Amino acid sequence: MLLTGEVLRAARAMARLEQAEFAELAGVSLETVKRLERVRGPIRAKPRTVEVMLGRLAERNITVEAHPEGGLALVWRGPGAPAAAMRRPKGAPIEDLGPVHRLIYHSRAVAPLSVGDQLEDILRAAVTRNAEFGVSGCLLAANDRFMQALEGDRGSVMLIYGLIASDPRHRDLVVVENRAADRRRFADWLMSARRATAAELARADPTQADGFDPERLSPAGALSLLSWFSDLERRALAEA
């Protein structure tokens, strides 16, 4: 079984372990954990290292198993857990069994994004929820603003958006798009997240050259901007 960086990252998040805590438990350096989680696809590590990491996850009821149809299944066996939290048949992180629904919204952070590890905390919670409900997505943060896309079956997307809407860390939520989609645009990610720089925003969309201002984006423009940053994150991981 080839463990992938995406599955390792999702498993750690589901176990509610910080990267530093997981590194200490597994007896490896923090940089090793960060490096492995950045990998898109199978990781390269000593078999003993992988065995220990999987063992520490199993102690928290999170197991990574080979799926009979190919790929990996991330399974949570804790009390009240779903049978399979994430399925990766034939390399795809999410399998669509019906129509795809997409919701895009933007909001304002209550506290400055420079305070604490807000983005990491949000990403950790998103990976856990999205894995459970088969939702993929992308989150962009800049200038104390958030913009996020969620994709999956309509019920799951609306349920997760309801949870997001009640999060006290942001306010002034505005739904940009909420409709059926022809396909997933972020199928490779349980959640791609990036803190955008001013230079990146200017390159991505001329309307954002003076700072992140999601009100100036049409639904198609919002999707295009999120897709641009998702591709940027994908390239960054491939070069890491």
CA angle 70, 76, 78 (to 5 degrees): 155
Q: What is the pLDDT of residue 93?
A: 46
Q: What is the DSSP string of the chain?
A: ---BHHHHHHHHHHTT--HHHHHHHHTS-HHHHHHHHH-SSB----HHHHHHHHHHHHTTTEEEEE-TTSSEEEEE-STT--S-SEEEGGG-S----S-EEEEEEEEEESS-TTSTTHHHHHHHHHHHHHHHHT-EEEEEEETTEEEEEEEE-HHHHHHHHHHHHT-TTEEEEEEEEEEEESS-S-TT-S-EEEE--HHHHHHH-GGGTTS--GGG--HHHHHHHHHHHHHHHHHHHHH-
pLDDT band (50, 70, 90) for residue 67: low
- Is the model's pLDDT at 205 over the cut of 70? yes
Give the pLDDT band (50/70/90) at residue 66: low
Q: What is the pLDDT of residue 70?
A: 54
On the question of pLDDT at 137 being above 70, the answer is: yes
The fold for domain 5-91 equals 434 Repressor (Amino-terminal Domain) (1.10.260)
CATH code for 100-239?
3.30.70.100
- Of the listed ranges 15-19, 23-27, 89-93, 95-99, the least confidently predicted one is 89-93
Sequence ranges of the chain with CATH classification 3.30.70.100:
100-239
In the chain, pLDDT over 70 holds for what percent of residues? Answer: 82
For 94-103, write each residue's pLDDT tens digit.
555 568 899 9
Sole residue written with tokens 């080979």? 66
